[in-house]
Amino acid sequence: MMKQYEYKVNNKASYGCSICHAFNEAYNSNSDNFYYSIPQEAGSGEMNRVCGSRGIQIIDYNLNFREPVEVCGVSRTPHMDMLFCLGDNLNWELPQVEKEFQLLSGESYIGTSSETRKKNIYPAKRDIHLIEIKMPLAEIID
């Protein structure tokens, strides 16, 4: 079993901790709804999460960074994902299985994820708009 591993931002700028906290909150927290606005010095955009019944979460990532932002982390709760890429193309590295995942603009994806490490470099000056519907597997199987 993997130990808890929080999302971290590898950029050295002062806003890195703020973005790190936002990814942790948006992706791994069990709290209620969440909203985060990207600091102006980092770029523009927001992350918005709405929680529904049975642990279902809808997360809207609408981001545009001034410089590339590298984010590494782990998904702690096994879940099913429905992803919708409404902006520019996205790539994730999955180091544990030595694979890369790509979602092109206009594409969608349905799949499951257990505790896996993820690494993503959000490119600079790109319109990143991703909608994620995240459903805990324990609740779906029940």
Residue given tokens 């995942």 in the structure block: 101
Q: Is there a domain that residue 62 lies in?
A: yes
- pLDDT, one tens digit per residue, over 75-114 is 778 889 999 999 999 887 666 667 788 899 999 999 887 7
Q: Where residue 29 sits, what CATH number does that domain have? A: 2.60.120.10
Residues 6+ apart with CB under 8 A from 66: 41, 42, 43, 124, 125
The secondary structure of 88-127, three-state, reads: CCEEEEECCCCEEEEECCCCEEEEEECCCEEEEEECECCC
Please report whether residue 29 resides in a domain.
yes
pLDDT of residue 36: 92
pLDDT at 10: 54
The tens digit of pLDDT for each residue in 29-64 reads: 777 889 999 989 889 999 999 998 888 999 999 999
What's the whole-model pTM score?
Answer: 0.82
Residue 81, in any domain of the structure: yes
Residue 50: which domain range? 8-141
Do the domain assignments include residue 24?
Answer: yes
Q: Is the pLDDT of residue 138 over 70?
A: yes
